[in-house]
Amino acid sequence: MLINDILDKANQRHFNHDFSEKCENCSYRENCPHNCGTCLCRVHFSNDENREYDCPNMADFYVCKYSYRYTSELIHLLSCLESLKSRNFIKVISLGCGPSTDLMALDYLHENGIYSFERLEYRGVDYSESVWKNIYNDIDSWGKEGFSVKRYFGDVCTLTFNKGAWIPDLIVLQYVLSDMTKHSSKNDIENFIEELARFIDDKLLPNSYILLNDINLSVTYGGGREYYDLLFSKLKTCEMVCGRFHDDNNASGGYRYGQCSWNEMPSNKNFFSWDYNWNVKYSPFNTCASAFMIIKKVRKNDN
């Protein structure tokens, strides 16, 4: 299974890395902490605007810590997309794809017979080619029959839609809006959402989906949840449901988000398991905890 292959190789690289030396081209320069977990904390929780996903060693640590949770969240959500389950051919574009946990989730669903496609075309867009290079090489060497994977490198905010005849059945924004909130201007994000909404209304076929999944925080606290609602408010041809997973690490279960019937998913189960040593090294989260919106294209644009 793809997730096992990727994490095994990332873990081996992390094990072999010499942490007595600072990482090559480390943005900490002489202050490199020689600890990828510390670097990730600075990316996620500090006010240092210069800290981004900028190191392939940190990327290996990242996938070992977060992939089980993020992939599990998408397994739950993709399992709700009834119109896609029986299709023979699915086209997916992942905006801000990072390590492609959405591809890992689709492979899991395919392996377990929940999705029955014979062909899958996956197109990932991300600005960090050098950061994820080892992960991408691992995915490319995996090379599962029926899976076609291509990538385009650049800032998602500057992406031009409506080019070419390739139209996706599924658009995924997986933990990208919160990252854009930290590193892109409000104006750039709103322009991106405007372009994306126009593409969805004008080009996507009925029974296509847009899946947004991210940290359950508002823009004020470093998340991007308001942008879910902004996107949907601009769509004329779609319906949506939104909600959250219960956060076991929060006394209240996490911020309330979503419609009454979908306010909280019935399960926050993680679909994967790991051993004690993995837990000591990476402290992965054992449950899901995100906020999500599932948008379905239901009719053609009459304009």
State the average pLDDT over residues 79-104: 97
Mean pLDDT, to the nearest integer, of 278-292? 94
In the prediction, which pLDDT does 165 show? Answer: 82
- 81, HSE (Cβ side, Cα atoms, 13 Å): 30
Half-sphere exposure of 109 (CA within 13 A, CB side): 28
pLDDT band at 280 (very low <50, low <70, confident <90, very high): very high
- Report pLDDT for 22: 63
pLDDT at 18 over 70: no
Lowest mean pLDDT segment, chosen from 32-46, 219-233, 238-252: 32-46
Percent of the chain with pLDDT over 90: 70
**Residue bearing tokens 């992965």:** 284
Q: Point out the least confidently predicted range of 47-51, 138-142, 195-199, 238-242.
A: 47-51
Average pLDDT over residues 194-220: 95
Long-range contacts (CB closer than 8 Å, 24 or more residues apart) made by 223-226: 223/177, 223/178, 223/181, 223/291, 224/177, 224/178, 224/180, 224/181, 224/189, 225/177, 225/257, 225/291
Q: How many CB atoms lie under 10 A from the CB of residue 166?
A: 10
Region 33-50: mean pLDDT is 67
pLDDT of residue 160: 77
pTM of this prediction?
A: 0.92
Query: How many angstroms separate the CA atoms of 207 and 61, rounded?
Result: 37
- Domain 66-297, CATH homologous superfamily name and number: Vaccinia Virus protein VP39 (3.40.50.150)
128 or 298: which leads in pLDDT: 298
pLDDT of residue 148: 97
Domain ranges of the chain: 66-297
Cα separations in angstroms, 22 against 19, 27, 132: 7, 10, 19
pLDDT of residue 32 exceeding 60, the answer is: yes
Is the pLDDT at 110 greater than 80? The verdict is: yes
